[in-house]
Amino acid sequence: MKLLRYGKFGVEKPGILDSNGQIRDLSAVIDDITGDNLFPEKLKLLRQLNIEQLPLVPSDVRLGSYSQSV
């Protein structure tokens, strides 16, 4: 399972790569790729998703990184 963030800087959305390497939108399932969404219970739920049924994201979208101000 490969999780990622995509979209315009500052308003990135969560995504996941499908078996064909295409980005699928996870924003209806989780609000962001954060520590809370990486706990084993949440990851178990994400693994149970039928990723191929999630909306496709355009291939030319910007990939984002996660940064958090401390």
The tens digit of pLDDT for each residue in 10-69 reads: 899 999 999 999 999 999 999 999 888 899 999 999 999 999 999 999 999 999 876 554
| 28 is a domain residue | yes
Domain assignment of residue 53, given as a range = 3-59
| 66 is a domain residue | no
- Going from the C-alpha of 17 to that of each of 5, 20, 46, 69, the distances in angstroms are 10, 8, 12, 27
CA 33 to chain CA centroid, Å, is: 6
| 67 is a domain residue | no
| 18 is a domain residue | yes
| 20 is a domain residue | yes
Phi and psi torsions of 57, nearest 5°? -105, 140
Q: For residue 67, what pLDDT is reported?
A: 56
Counting the structural domains of the chain, the total is: 1
